[in-house]
Amino acid sequence: MSGMLLENKNAVIYGGGGAIGGAVARVFAREGARVFIAGRTQAKLDAVARDIMAAGGQVETAQLDAFDPEAVERHADAVAAQAGSIDVALNAVSVTHDQGTLLADLSLEEFMRPIDGFLRTLFITSKAVARHMGGERPGVVLNLSEPGARLAASGILGHGVSAAGKEAFSRLLAAELAPRNIRVIDIRPHAVVDAAAAGSYTRDVFGPSAAAAGQTLDEFLDDGMRAGTLLQQLPTLSDVAETAAFLASDRAGAMTATVVNLTGGALVD
pLDDT digits over 104-122, tens only?
999 999 999 999 999 999 9
* % residues pLDDT > 70 (the chain): 99
At residue 2, the pLDDT reads 57
Cα–Cα distance, 213 to 221 (Å, whole number):
12
Q: How many contiguous H segments (helices) and E segments (strands) does the chain have?
A: 8, 7
Tell me which CATH code domain 10-192+236-262 carries.
3.40.50.720
Phi, psi of 249 (to 5 degrees): -90, 165
pLDDT digits over 206-262, tens only?
777 788 888 888 888 887 789 889 999 999 999 999 999 999 999 999 999 999 999
At residue 1, the pLDDT reads 43
CA 136 to chain centre: 26
Q: Which residues of the chain have pLDDT under 50?
A: 1
Average of per-residue pLDDT values in the chain: 94
Cα–Cα distance, 146 to 138 (Å, whole number):
26
pTM of the model: 0.95
Closest CA to 34 of 23, 46, 20, 49: 49
At residue 11, the pLDDT reads 98
Sheet with strand 10-14: strands edge to edge: 58-63, 34-39, 10-14, 88-91, 139-144, 182-189, 258-262
At residue 207, the pLDDT reads 78
At residue 58, the pLDDT reads 98
